[in-house]
Amino acid sequence: MKTNLKIYNNDWYQPGGALKRTLWLVANALFFNNGLALFNGFKLFLLRRFGAKIGEGVVIKPSVSIKYPWFLTIGNHVWIGENVWIDNLTDVHIGNHVCLSQGVMLLTGNHDYTKPSFDLIIGKIILEDGVWLGAQSVVCPGITCGSHAVLAVNSTATKNLEAYSIYQGNPAVKVRDRKIKSLN
């Protein structure tokens, strides 16, 4: 079967003006998606200037890629590890006390492979308070990770994660409840 490339058209998706996207592309390459341990405060300043809503105590490690900061909300005391990719074609909401371990991917876009036009599909991601995403884990479009849910190393969330639950695998399945010890 021969594919007609002229049918691919996602012109409906307009994530911001061309100048804004270009300026962010440069800022992201220079200050975020590189191995230099630049001043964290400067990164947060830039994100806010580009429209991100950022809380207090946020740490962003080197080699992080953020698609569009104007679709990003980050709560207080959030840790974003090395090589995290926030591919936010639409809203990503990260609650308080969330940890995105090294290599996590938050993917808000996909394509409808059943259509010859390969239409873009987008869905927001919500990480509620206390969520921990293990290294190299993936959260797919339209997913909510409930309060204090854990997605284990190298796992893929294709369905919503229940609060206070631990998920593992590809696709991720609940393996047990998350019990949090008291500070006493």
Q: What is the 3-state secondary structure (H, E, C) of 70-119?
A: HHEEECCCCEECCCCEEECCCCEEECCCCEECCCCEEECEEECCCCCCCC
Res 37: pLDDT: 74
Give the span between the Cα atoms of 146 and 98, in whole angstroms: 11
> What is the per-residue pLDDT across 9-58, written as a single tens digit (0 to 9) for each?
788 898 999 999 999 999 999 999 888 777 899 999 999 999 999 999 99
Task: Give the pLDDT mean for 134-146.
Answer: 98
Residue 67 exposure: Cα atoms within 13 Å on the Cβ side: 16
Asked if residue 1 has pLDDT above 60, the reply is: no
Q: Does the global pTM surpass 0.85?
A: yes
Fold (topology level) of 39-177 = UDP N-Acetylglucosamine Acyltransferase; domain 1 (2.160.10)
